[in-house]
């Protein structure tokens, strides 16, 4: 009976010792940092990873990330210095560098996100309120983001966090302004297109008129040159014919009469009304072509 009670007591002691040992040991991961609390009061900060001990059932461990954390607040509508409204979408990256101060001021990541949202929103309105819309959309944008980041980082030190970066992801006009600007842009582009079409039509008409005028001039010059060349050719032809036929006038007369016979007698029923003394068919009467004249060279008198 005594041995049984002893075993029970020993078992209870072992269970309590196991629970106490389990509660006394804790592991800090390399991506974490820990804060040991006793009844809600901070006792020590553990920044290095490893296996650590704490008072069982008296102390508690609060773990925080030591990696970069992202925070994306909702888009905010701000007014720049030239009274233009912008919907700005940002994101923030921060790191918990002082777990004790972080625990004492905000306690949790949920609470620090609300503080960050207010800080980013306030800095965004202050900085963008001093610049114009063209500056936000130009190469000055990195300078603006740097100024916002420095302001938020300075404010974040009081919460034990280091704000590494604040970026403007998008900066758009509100929907109603965007539609109005888009409609105005369409109207301006249509007006510009109509102007370009009008200028193009005017230029095309000018080109056509110049081309027609040049065509008429070229045709006139070509016809003039052709007439001159044709006249020179006809004159040369007449001269050649005159020189050739001038060497034998009887042969020229005979040749011209043959051409006249060919032109006059080419029909099937040709009728002539001639006087008895007409000389049109003189070459049919005598070989010489006329009475009292010598016969053509190579043609004997009296030959048929």
Judged against a pLDDT cut of 50, whether residue 294 lies above it is answered with no
In DSSP terms, which residues pair with 231 in a beta bridge? none
Query: What percent of the chain has a predicted confidence (pLDDT) above 70?
Result: 81
pLDDT at position 285: 63
Residues 35 and 93 in one domain: no
> Parallel, antiparallel, or unpaired for β 161-172 and 85-96?
antiparallel
Q: How confident is the model at residue 291 (pLDDT cuts 50, 70, 90)?
A: very low
pLDDT (average), residues 89-115? 90
Q: How many residues does the chain have?
A: 304
Q: How confident is the model at residue 298 (pLDDT cuts 50, 70, 90)?
A: very low
Domain membership flag for residue 89: yes
Total of domains in the chain: 4
Among residues 146, 173, 200, which one ends one of the domains?
Answer: 173
Residues 145 and 169 in one domain: yes
Question: Could you tell me the maximum CA-CA distance found in the chain, to the nearest angstrom?
Answer: 192
Residues 103 and 189 in one domain: no
Query: At 132, which CATH number?
Result: 3.30.479.30
In DSSP terms, which residues pair with 94 in a beta bridge? 69, 163
Residues 79 and 161 in one domain: yes
pLDDT (average), residues 23-32? 83
Phi, psi for 138 (deg, rounded to 5): -115, -165
Residue 39's domain comprises: 2-65
Judged against a pLDDT cut of 60, whether residue 244 lies above it is answered with yes
- 57 Cβ contact list (under 8 Å, min separation 6): 20, 23
Domain membership flag for residue 84: yes
Q: How confident is the model at residue 295 (pLDDT cuts 50, 70, 90)?
A: very low
Domain membership flag for residue 241: no
Among residues 222, 257, 291, which one ends one of the domains?
Answer: 222
45, 100 Cβ separation under 8 angstroms = yes
> What pTM did the predictor assign?
0.53
Domain membership flag for residue 37: yes
Among residues 40, 65, 90, which one ends one of the domains?
Answer: 65
Residues 108 and 167 in one domain: yes
If one counts every other C-beta atom within 10 angstroms of the C-beta of residue 286, the result is: 15
Judged against a pLDDT cut of 70, whether residue 281 lies above it is answered with no
């Amino acid at each position: 009976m005594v041995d049984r009670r002893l075993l029970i007591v020993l078992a209870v002691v072992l269970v309590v010792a196991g629970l106490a040992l389990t509660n006394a040991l804790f592991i800090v991961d390399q991506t974490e940092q820990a804060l040991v609390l006793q009844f809600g009061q901070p006792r020590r900060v553990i920044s290095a990873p490893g296996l650590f001990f704490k008072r069982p059932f008296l102390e508690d461990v609060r773990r925080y990330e030591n990696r970069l954390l992202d925070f994306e607040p909702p888009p905010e509508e701000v007014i720049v210095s030239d009274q233009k409204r912008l919907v700005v979408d940002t994101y923030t990256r921060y790191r918990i560098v002082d777990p004790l101060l972080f625990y004492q001021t905000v306690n949790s990541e949920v609470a620090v996100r609300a503080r960050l949202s207010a800080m980013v929103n306030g800095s965004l309105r202050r900085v963008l309120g001093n610049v114009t819309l063209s500056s936000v959309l130009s190469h000055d944008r990195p300078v603006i983001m740097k100024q916002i980041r420095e302001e938020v980082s300075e404010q974040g030190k009081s919460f034990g966090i280091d704000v590494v970066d604040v970026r403007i992801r998008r900066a758009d006009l509100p929907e109603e302004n965007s539609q109005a600007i888009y409609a105005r842009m369409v109207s301006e582009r249509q007006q510009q297109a109509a102007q370009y079409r009008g200028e193009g039509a005017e230029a095309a008409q000018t080109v056509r008129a110049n081309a027609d005028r040049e065509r008429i001039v070229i045709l006139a010059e070509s016809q003039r040159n052709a007439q001159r060349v044709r006249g020179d050719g006809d004159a040369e032809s007449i001269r050649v014919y005159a020189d050739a036929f001038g060497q034998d006038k009887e042969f020229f007369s005979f040749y011209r009469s043959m051409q006249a016979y060919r032109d006059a007698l080419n029909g099937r029923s040709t009728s002539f009304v001639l006087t008895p003394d007409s000389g049109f068919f003189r070459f049919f009467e005598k070989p010489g072509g006329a009475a009292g004249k010598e016969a053509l060279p190579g043609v004997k008198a009296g030959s048929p």
